[in-house]
């Protein structure tokens, strides 16, 4: 079998909307190492693929129309696949950023918590420095003992692609110190924050979730249905201020009663300047029990 045919077949097996240069590099490197595809020998002599070989194969695949430079991104390291229907922006960004996932208002829409249609796509991803650390770890796992040879031969590395617009859809990529809790969507490349984490994100960044009034509306309409998931997420990953905000909303606003409230209220700090809406200015209106500034303009 010729190497170009083997690579074409291997690329065709990818169940994703686009392929990155790093993913193509892994395929090329792997086939040159094993010199076979599904048990059939590949006619190549070189011990390992090199940058020149990768570049030649990449050009050939593009000349044959098997790959085309993906036009929905400014990056020159993402390719469309022949015959592959154009998938959603969500699937594309989660393919290009292996550590990112759909979050905030976009996750709220996916989970059916809001009827708003976000004009931009909200996703979460590690900050650049942390992202680079994750990329280094992933390459180590992908290539194992071959990592040094791969790098020495100048093959494509896993890099953080700039994601500002994809297919004219504006992308808001949010970086947080908190590692996300997400789930993989079956049959898709998309990843999305879990329902529990989505409710926690609403407390932390209401400005990315339609605003604090919309967040309060979502809690009012859906918190009871997902109460166990919210409690578990806040208990496991919530900071003290997250517990105070969740406690105030479900205790004083929604009049709920559950055991965890007794623990959460212990996180209230008298004499502090904590705010219900983290994105707005402090207001003197106050919850005595939860020691929280109620800096919300109530809807009429």
Q: For residue 86, what pLDDT is reported?
A: 64
- For residue 262, count other CB atoms closer than 10 A to its CB: 9
Extents of the domains making up the chain: 3-191, 196-293
**Whole-angstrom Cα distance, residue 114 to residue 221?**
10
User: Cα–Cα–Cα angle for 285, 288, 256, nearest 5°?
Assistant: 100
pLDDT at 116 over 60: yes
pLDDT at 75 over 80: no
Facing residues of 69 across strands?
79
pLDDT at 58 over 90: yes
Instruction: Give which of 251, 248, 255 is closest to 296, Cα–Cα.
Output: 248
Instruction: Give which of 84, 110, 247, 266 is closest to 183, Cα–Cα.
Output: 110
Q: For residue 142, what pLDDT is reported?
A: 98
**Whole-angstrom Cα distance, residue 213 to residue 279?**
12
Q: Give the confidence band of 179 by pLDDT, cuts at 50, 70, 90.
A: confident
**Whole-angstrom Cα distance, residue 182 to residue 192?**
5
pLDDT at 217 over 80: yes
pLDDT for 223-269, tens place per residue?
Answer: 999 999 999 999 999 999 999 999 999 999 999 999 999 999 999 98
Helix intervals (H) in 121-270: 128-143, 147-152, 195-204, 212-222, 227-237, 240-248, 260-264
Task: For residues 145-165, give the mean pLDDT.
Answer: 95
Phi-psi region at 2: left, alpha or beta (left = phi > 0; alpha = psi -120 to 50)? beta
**What is the b/e burial string over 94-115, where b = at least 16 CB atoms within 10 angstroms of the residue's CB?**
bbbbbbbbbbbbbbbbbbebbe
Task: For residues 182-193, give the mean pLDDT.
Answer: 94
């Amino acid at each position: 079998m010729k190497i170009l045919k083997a690579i074409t077949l291997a690329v065709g097996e990818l169940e994703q909307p686009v392929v990155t240069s790093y993913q193509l590099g892994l395929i090329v490197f792997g086939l040159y190492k094993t010199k076979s595809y599904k048990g059939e020998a590949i006619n190549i002599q070189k011990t390992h693929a090199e940058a020149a070989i990768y570049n030649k194969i990449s050009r050939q695949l593009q000349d044959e129309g098997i790959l085309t430079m993906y036009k929905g991104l400014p990056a020159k390291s993402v390719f469309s696949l022949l015959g592959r229907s154009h998938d959603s922006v969500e699937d594309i960004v989660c393919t290009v950023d292996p550590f990112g996932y759909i979050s905030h208002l976009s996750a709220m829409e996916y989970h059916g918590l809001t009827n708003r249609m976000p004009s931009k796509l909200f996703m979460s991803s590690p900050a650049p420095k942390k992202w680079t650390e994750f990329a280094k770890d992933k390459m180590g796992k992908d290539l194992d003992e071959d990592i040094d040879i791969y790098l020495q031969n100048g093959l494509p590395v896993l890099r953080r692609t700039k994601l500002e617009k994809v297919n004219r859809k504006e992308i808001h990529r949010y970086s947080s110190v908190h590692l996300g809790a997400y789930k993989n969507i079956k049959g898709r490349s998309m990843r999305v924050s879990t329902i529990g984490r989505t409710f926690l994100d609403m407390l932390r960044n209401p400005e990315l979730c339609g605003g604090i009034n919309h967040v309060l509306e979502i809690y009012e309409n859906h918190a009871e249905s997902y109460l166990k998931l919210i409690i578990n997420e806040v208990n496991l990953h919530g900071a003290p201020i997250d517990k105070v905000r969740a406690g105030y909303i479900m205790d004083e606003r929604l009049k709920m009663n559950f055991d965890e409230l007794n623990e959460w209220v212990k996180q209230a700090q008298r004499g502090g300047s904590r705010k219900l809406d983290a994105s707005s200015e402090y207001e003197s209106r106050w919850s005595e029990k939860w020691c929280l500034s109620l800096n919300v303009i109530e809807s009429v």
